Amino acid sequence: MRRLDEIMNFNEEFVLNKEYLKYTKIRKDNKKIVIVSCMDTRLTELLPKALNIKDGDAKFIKNAGASVIHPFGNTIRSIVIAIYEFDIDEVYIIAHHDCGMSNLDSSKTLEKGYSKGIDKNEVKKIIDSGFDLEKWLKGFNSVNDSVVSTVKSIKNHPLIPRDIKVYGLIIDPTNGKLELVYDDL
Ligand SMILES: [Zn+2]
């Protein structure tokens, strides 16, 4: 059975059995926070449970490495919308130990793309156009430094109001423990 079919079959039962009722009662942004976290699958349930975040409490933005790599990319856009449209006033950058983006080698990552059938000529065209593909695919050397630089890039962003609090944290995926690495006092 395809994974899609498994999901669709489960979903049919979920709706039929009204299992959604447990989750659809709260619809407000109770805590007024946005959390930028990593797409790592170990954090799917662990992160909200470890922070006592329930439906209605927080807006979640996930990407590879819990980072903001472009000042006008999709992550910062989502944060801006959350602040302007939903009155969110605190941003939490929550990266994690043992992240796949740690020490990621962009040339090795590109090689994996080629082995999946990506055309080298197309990649060359992207690079020749002046786009820094290597930087775009690169991970970080230190999760701590990555969190702090992401926090600062948000705090100094011209579209982020000055009174928005931005905190930087790292979670341990083996036990859910949070470490505060940037406090916004
Ligand atoms: Zn990660």
Burial 27-56 (b: 16+ CB within 10 A, else e): eebebbbbbbbbebeebeebbbebbebeee
State the distance from the centre of ligand 1 to the C-alpha of 38, rounded, in angstroms. 5
State the distance from the centre of ligand 1 to the C-alpha of 17, rounded, in angstroms. 34
117 and 39 in a common domain: no
Q: Which residues contact 79 (CB under 8 A, 6 or more apart)?
A: 34, 36, 61, 91, 154, 160
Q: What is the pLDDT of residue 23?
A: 85
161 and 121 in a common domain: no
State the distance from the centre of ligand 1 to the C-alpha of 103, rounded, in angstroms. 11
> What's the CATH number where 67 sits?
3.40.1050.10
Q: What is the pLDDT of residue 26?
A: 67
Cα–Cα distance, 182 to 91 (Å, whole number): 12
Q: What is the pLDDT of residue 92?
A: 98
Instruction: For residue 48, tell me if it sits in a domain.
Output: yes
96 and 60 in a common domain: yes
State the distance from the centre of ligand 1 to the C-alpha of 81, rounded, in angstroms. 24
State the distance from the centre of ligand 1 to the C-alpha of 100, rounded, in angstroms. 5
State the distance from the centre of ligand 1 to the C-alpha of 21, rounded, in angstroms. 32
Q: What is the pLDDT of residue 146?
A: 96
User: Considering its fold, how many domains does the chain have in total?
Assistant: 2
75 and 40 in a common domain: yes
State the distance from the centre of ligand 1 to the C-alpha of 87, rounded, in angstroms. 28
Per-residue pLDDT of the chain (185 residues; tens, 9 = 90+): 899 999 999 999 999 999 999 887 766 778 899 999 999 999 999 999 999 998 889 999 999 999 998 999 999 999 999 999 999 999 999 999 999 999 889 999 999 999 999 999 999 999 999 999 998 999 899 999 999 999 999 999 999 999 999 999 999 999 999 999 999 99
Helix-then-strand count for the chain, H and E: 7, 5
State the distance from the centre of ligand 1 to the C-alpha of 16, rounded, in angstroms. 35
117 and 51 in a common domain: no
Instruction: For residue 18, tell me if it sits in a domain.
Output: no
75 and 45 in a common domain: yes
> Are the CB atoms for 154 and 136 separated by under 8 Å?
no
Query: Could you read off the pLDDT of 50-78 as tens digits, one per residue?
Result: 999 988 899 999 999 999 989 999 999 99
49 and 94 in a common domain: yes
Q: What is the pLDDT of residue 27?
A: 66
Instruction: For residue 16, tell me if it sits in a domain.
Output: no
Residue 63 structural domain: 29-102+142-185
Q: 61 in helix, strand or coil?
A: strand
> Are the CB atoms for 137 and 69 separated by under 8 Å?
no
Q: Which residues contact 182 (CB under 8 A, 6 or more apart)?
A: 93, 147, 148, 151, 166, 167, 168, 169
54 and 91 in a common domain: yes
State the distance from the centre of ligand 1 to the C-alpha of 174, rounded, in angstroms. 13
Tell me how far the alpha carbon of residue 57 is from its chain's centroid.
17
Q: What is the pLDDT of residue 1?
A: 87
Query: Could you read off the pLDDT of 112-128 as tens digits, one per residue?
Result: 999 999 999 999 999 99
Cα–Cα distance, 157 to 176 (Å, whole number): 30
Give the strand order in the sheet containing 58-63.
Answer: 58-63, 33-38, 90-96, 165-171, 178-182
Q: What is the pLDDT of residue 181?
A: 98
